[in-house]
């Protein structure tokens, strides 16, 4: 069995928990090179996501991600709203009506999400944005899926690559977003968007570990 | 019915204020403000923007909607709203400075321009502090003789100010012609205003291209009618 709606719900709820726990950290990252609202915006946005999912429980992972997209686009306020909103929306479209996401489809959904962020934000790899976490994550996920890994292993590979990608933004000079106004002074700080992307993908892997654990499936 | 216009800003005060300003010059155009977040913080909200776009689609009765935005994420939220809109093809985003672009778009809509031309009118306003004659679409110099030209004396009491400039630029943006007025780009509201041409001064209009004659006649008629201010 691949991942189902329970995984999607767990993912979004663990995401909300991660945003709450890392709120101050993200605010501080954003204070260094942006407008210091990222942690607060993401926390508020994911609270709205959880509320919406509780009000209208979705039946498929795609429906869950679509509901999350709408909530994020309406409640986040900053650039992260339309960016993450588009990411979840494109992932939802890529998944369709399935309730059984296998590794290949999962990697394809992550790629669709990343493509959505690129289309919306027009950033490229190395611009010191969330793309620097998304793109390594997608590459790692595609490689894992092609190598026969299961959904959990795909997400773990993606999360690890996103974390490394986020750390690798530290020395970069920002070329997109509010941080780009700082020019050279943006170097030496981690990009808050890349940091939140790594947290969200880690939550996806944790949710998958929980889901597969519940069903007694082999976690590797 | 005219083209509808939606203003998306991070701040509800900016959106409301810009609409108020443009409404003075375009009393018949439905202008909808979508500024700030749902809880009135600084930011943009898909829900708010989408509601404004849908309202504008209804208000404009099928004539179409042009959306103007301020900083970064407002553009992204507006793009998302267009994707979700009931009639995405009828909604155009204008890449223009918010206030100047809005005024140009509103005046173009007021004068009955179609949705494409309203967007063009907004986009003909250049970003930044551009010296007169440099704004808007590039006009090659040393082109030799223009295809059509004319000299017109300003008879309206206030001379060249924002509304006449917007009327000239808005109308010209719908024509296939490169037009200069006293040497500056005829499609740049800011450049036209910077001429500071008062009552009694003469506008030298030179146009090249397929609609050159129409363009000269258009400006001439506006000037002779005193831009509707007489």
Handedness of CA A180, A181, A184, A186 (dihedral sign): negative
- Give the closest residue to A11 by CA, choosing from A79, A82, A88, A78: A88
Closest residue in B to A117 (Cα) is B76
B43/A81 CB distance under 8 A: yes
Contacts of B82 in chain A (CB under 8 A): none
Q: Which two tokens stand for residue A62?
A: 């795609």
Q: For residue B10, indicate whether it is catalytic.
A: yes
**B81 is written with which tokens?**
């709203």
CA dist B49 and B99 (Å) reads 18
Q: What is the pLDDT of residues B13-45, one digit of tens each?
A: 999 999 999 998 888 999 999 999 988 889 999
The model's pLDDT over A51-106, given as tens digits with 9 standing for 90+, comes to 999 999 999 999 999 999 999 999 998 889 999 999 999 999 999 999 999 999 99
Give me the helices (H) in B124-173, please. Answer: 162-172
B37 → closest Cβ in A70, A77, A79: A77
Interface of B with A in 39-98 (CB under 8 A): 41-48, 72-73, 76-77, 79-80
* Among B129, B227, B124, residue whose Cα is nearest residue B179: B124
pLDDT class for B88, splitting at 50, 70, 90?
A: very high
Annotated active-site residue in B3, B7, B10, B216:
B10
What band does A216 get if pLDDT is binned at 50, 70 and 90? Answer: very low
Q: Is B225 on the interface with A (CB under 8 A)?
A: no
Cα(B66)–Cα(B7) distance, rounded to whole angstroms?
Answer: 9
| Interchain CB distance below 8 Å, B77 and A86 | no
Cα–Cα distance list, B110 to A201, B107, B224 (Å): 50, 5, 19
Q: Determine the Cα–Cα distance for residues B36 and B13; give it in Å rounded to an integer.
A: 8
Q: Are A135 and A118 in contact (CB under 8 A)?
A: no
For chain A, state the CA radius of gyration: 16
pLDDT, position B127: 64
pLDDT score of B158 = 84
Closest by CA position to B83, among listed A58, A113, A85, A80: A85
pLDDT tens digits, A100-155: 999 999 999 999 999 999 999 999 999 999 999 999 999 999 999 999 999 999 99
Of B143 and A120, the structure prediction assigns the larger pLDDT to A120
Residue B223, token pair as written in the block: 């000037």
- What pLDDT sits at residue B191? 81
d(CA B183, CA B195): 10
pTM of the model: 0.72
For the cut 50, the answer to whether the pLDDT of residue B136 exceeds it is: no
Most B CBs within 10 A among A37, A38, A82, A87, hence the mutation to make, goes to A82
Is the predicted pLDDT of residue A213 greater than 70, yes or no? no
- Sketch out chain B's domains with CATH numbers: 4-124 (3.40.50.510), 148-228 (3.30.1340.10)
pLDDT of residue A86: 95
Model pLDDT, residue B76: 93
- Choose the mutation target among A30, A73, A127 for the interface with B, i.e. most B CBs under 10 Å: A73
């Amino acid at each position: 069995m691949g991942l189902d709606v329970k995984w999607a719900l767990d993912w979004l709820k663990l995401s909300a928990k991660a945003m709450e726990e890392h709120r101050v950290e993200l605010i501080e990252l954003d204070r260094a090179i942006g407008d210091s609202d990222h942690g607060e915006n993401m926390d508020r946005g994911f609270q709205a996501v959880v509320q919406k999912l509780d009000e209208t429980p979705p039946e498929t992972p795609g429906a869950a991600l679509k509901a999350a997209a709408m909530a994020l686009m309406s409640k986040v306020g900053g650039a992260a709203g339309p960016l993450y909103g588009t990411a979840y929306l494109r992932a939802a479209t890529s998944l369709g009506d399935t309730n059984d996401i296998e590794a290949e489809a999962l990697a394809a959904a992550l790629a669709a999400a990343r493509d959505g962020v690129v289309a919306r934000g027009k950033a490229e790899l190395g611009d010191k944005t969330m793309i620097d976490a998304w793109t390594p994550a997608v590459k790692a996920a595609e490689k894992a899926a092609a190598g026969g890994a299961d959904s959990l292993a795909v997400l773990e590979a993606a999360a690890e690559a996103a974390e490394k990608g986020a750390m690798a933004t530290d020395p970069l000079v920002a070329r997109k977003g509010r941080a780009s106004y700082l020019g050279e002074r943006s170097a030496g700080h981690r990009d808050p968007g890349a940091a939140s992307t790594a947290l969200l993908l880690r939550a996806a892997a944790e949710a998958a570990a929980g889901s597969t654990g519940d069903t007694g499936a082999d976690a590797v | 019915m005219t083209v509808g216009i939606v203003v998306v800003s991070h701040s509800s005060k900016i959106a409301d204020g810009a609409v108020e300003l443009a409404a003075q010059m375009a009393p018949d155009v439905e202008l909808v403000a979508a500024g700030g977040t749902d809880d009135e913080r600084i930011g943009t909200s898909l829900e708010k923007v989408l509601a404004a776009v849908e309202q504008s689609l209804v208000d404009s009765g099928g004539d179409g909607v042009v959306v103007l935005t301020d900083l970064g994420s407002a553009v992204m939220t507006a793009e998302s709203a267009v994707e979700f809109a009931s009639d995405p093809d009828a909604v155009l985003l204008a890449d223009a400075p918010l206030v100047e672009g809005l005024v140009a778009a509103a005046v173009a809509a007021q004068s009955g321009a179609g949705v494409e031309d309203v967007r063009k009118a907004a986009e003909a306003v250049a970003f930044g502090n551009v010296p007169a004659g440099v704004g808007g679409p590039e006009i090659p110099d040393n082109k030799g003789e223009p295809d059509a030209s004319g000299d017109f004396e300003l008879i309206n009491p206030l001379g060249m100010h924002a509304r006449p400039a917007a009327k000239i630029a808005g109308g010209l943006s719908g024509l296939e012609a490169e037009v200069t007025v006293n040497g500056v780009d005829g499609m740049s509201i800011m450049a036209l205003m910077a001429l500071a041409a008062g009552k009694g001064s003469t506008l030298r209009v030179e146009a090249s291209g397929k609609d050159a004659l129409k363009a000269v006649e258009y400006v001439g008629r506006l000037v002779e009618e005193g831009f509707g201010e007489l």
